[in-house]
Amino acid sequence: MSNEGNAKTLAQHFTPAAVAQLAWDAVRTLAGKELGAGARVVDPAAGEGALLAVVGRAYQTTGIEIDEGLVERGRSQADRFYTGDGLLGTFPAVVDESFDCVLANPPFGKLGPMLPLLGTDGPRRLALRFRLLDRQKQMRAFPVESLFVERALQLTRPAGWMALILPEGFLANARQQGVRDWLLARAEVRAVVALPGAFDKVQTALVVLRRGQPQARAKARLIAPLGKRPSVEQYAQRTQLLLGAPSSRGPEAALLSVGQRALHARRWDPRFWQGRVAVRRLAGRLQLVPLGEYICHLTYGPIVTGRRPQHVEAGVPVIRQGDLAETGLDERALLCVAPAGAHDPPRSRVRPGDLLLSRSGAGALGRNRLAVYLGSGPANVGCFVDLIRLEGLNPFYAWFFLKTRLGREQIAAQANGVGTPNISFGEIRALQIAALPLAYQEVLERRYREQVWPLHCRRERTEFRAEAEQRFCAIVGDLEDHLQTRRQ
């Protein structure tokens, strides 16, 4: 197989040294004396040995790597290094329940493409070795990282430790809930440290686990970076401090402590918990109402497979994700489609005052792109734009609220997972909105119409656009301050 082929099929994304150090320091801090000199550490998917390289000579290190091309370098990083399959292979010094710590950044993705590497009886042997496959009808679609999690559990001695770098999907996807609960019945989650930007194509987190029945008093420490992304080194330092002394404060990262039971049937990613905690804090002071209670119509634009919309002069404008600018709808280059055609169904025609939300993608939903439709003529929405018609809630207020930290965190918490971030109708309806008096909501609308909209309409001039954005930011900032201080 070519190197490129290997990299893809085997999900080879190697751990940067600073992240490897963070992972090892984290598990050592949490384990304390339980992971002293002489402890046995294994990486069953070791690549070039990046994780084992930071462990240090005082420990006994073992690596397994399936790609022969990586083994030579790997060998120099570990006491023992085997070429072969870390899931099914047998090796002289690799005995189940014999390691004090499994340190791994396993491959992730569907098992299917890897099956040919495991031999013709691979599926049968996998089914025998892995309990997680017991109820799986579709072995090929099963996430390979989950099998490595089970393998880590098999290799760890009772009360031993695991530090695993896993894709966010493992922590956040509803489909992986069964695996998370299965693991939680067999190990304590001691820490989940978000690692944004550590790898190019996938968001990951470090999960530190201790094998054994979870004890109620053992808290999971969930850590995520704060504000502008700190450097890996700063973040690692702060993480280290937070794990050692949870009450310490600093600008680089935030920590939440969550009980083991609370993790059952829920997501494990720190962002999700940050969103929950922020909502709970606000709910102590203000009445929060699910957005769904105000929604009288919720839909998205037509999905017409195989036919891209063609521009039709004097047709009906279609609002697509890219048309939602920071300060409102940018109507300058709207595509127009044939009226009443497949791309202009009546159900998704917009009305003045409709709230438009960009549903998908890091560049749109990731940036919370929203707008209120202020046009008067007929228009429709594209397939990635949700149309939200509200009753009893000012749509401008809803827009600004969703731009506050509280709104952003709620949306970010929903929009997790591997691949393109997305938010479903159910998740939109569940967003919690502070029920502020309508008169106050209208004040915000007036401010927008008087101070932002006129500049927004002349946004082709950079200085107007910048000023519009600043004024928009000020409205959202004032609302945020109001939410911080107001009591009901």
Options 64, 155, 324, 337; binder of ligand SAM; rule CB under 6 A: 64
* Minimum separation from the CB atom of position 25 to ligand SAM (A): 15
What's the per-residue H, E or C state across 115-145?
Answer: HHHHCCCHHHHHHHHCHHHCCCCCHHHCEHH
Cβ closest to ligand SAM, residue 47 vs residue 421 = 47
Question: Looking at beta carbons, which residue is closest to ligand SAM?
Answer: 47
Contact window for ligand SAM (CB under 6 A) among 63-71, 206-214, 356-364, 399-407: 63-71
Q: Is 66 in the site for ligand SAM (CB under 6 A)?
A: yes
* Minimum separation from the CB atom of position 269 to ligand SAM (A): 19
Cβ closest to ligand SAM, residue 65 vs residue 409 = 65
Q: Is 330 in the site for ligand SAM (CB under 6 A)?
A: no
Cβ atoms 355, 399 nearer than 8 A: yes
Binders of ligand SAM in range 3-32 (CB under 6 A): 10-15
Cβ closest to ligand SAM, residue 64 vs residue 334 = 64
Cβ closest to ligand SAM, residue 71 vs residue 434 = 71
* Minimum separation from the CB atom of position 164 to ligand SAM (A): 10
Cβ closest to ligand SAM, residue 85 vs residue 188 = 85
* Minimum separation from the CB atom of position 48 to ligand SAM (A): 6
* Minimum separation from the CB atom of position 330 to ligand SAM (A): 41
* Minimum separation from the CB atom of position 229 to ligand SAM (A): 21
Contact window for ligand SAM (CB under 6 A) among 46-54, 268-276, 321-329, 465-473: 46-54
* Minimum separation from the CB atom of position 131 to ligand SAM (A): 18
Options 31, 45, 334, 476; binder of ligand SAM; rule CB under 6 A: 45
Options 41, 50, 428, 476; binder of ligand SAM; rule CB under 6 A: 50
Cβ closest to ligand SAM, residue 15 vs residue 348 = 15
Q: Is 453 in the site for ligand SAM (CB under 6 A)?
A: no
**Interface mask (CB under 6 A) for ligand SAM, residues 75-114, using x and -?**
----------xxx-----------------xxx------x
Site size for ligand SAM (CB under 6 A): 24
Q: Is 409 in the site for ligand SAM (CB under 6 A)?
A: no
Q: Is 126 in the site for ligand SAM (CB under 6 A)?
A: no
Options 30, 31, 41, 46; binder of ligand SAM; rule CB under 6 A: 46
* Minimum separation from the CB atom of position 58 to ligand SAM (A): 20
Q: Is 459 in the site for ligand SAM (CB under 6 A)?
A: no
Q: What gap in Å lies between CA 43 and CA 61, rounded to an integer?
A: 8
Q: Is 306 left (phi over 0), alpha (psi -120 to 50) or beta?
A: left
Burial label, 320 (beta-carbon count in 10 A; 0-12, 13-18, 19+): buried
Binders of ligand SAM in range 357-396 (CB under 6 A): none
Binders of ligand SAM in range 237-276 (CB under 6 A): none
Q: Rule CB under 6 A: which residues touch ligand SAM? A: 10-15, 43, 45-47, 50-51, 64-67, 70, 85-87, 105-107, 114
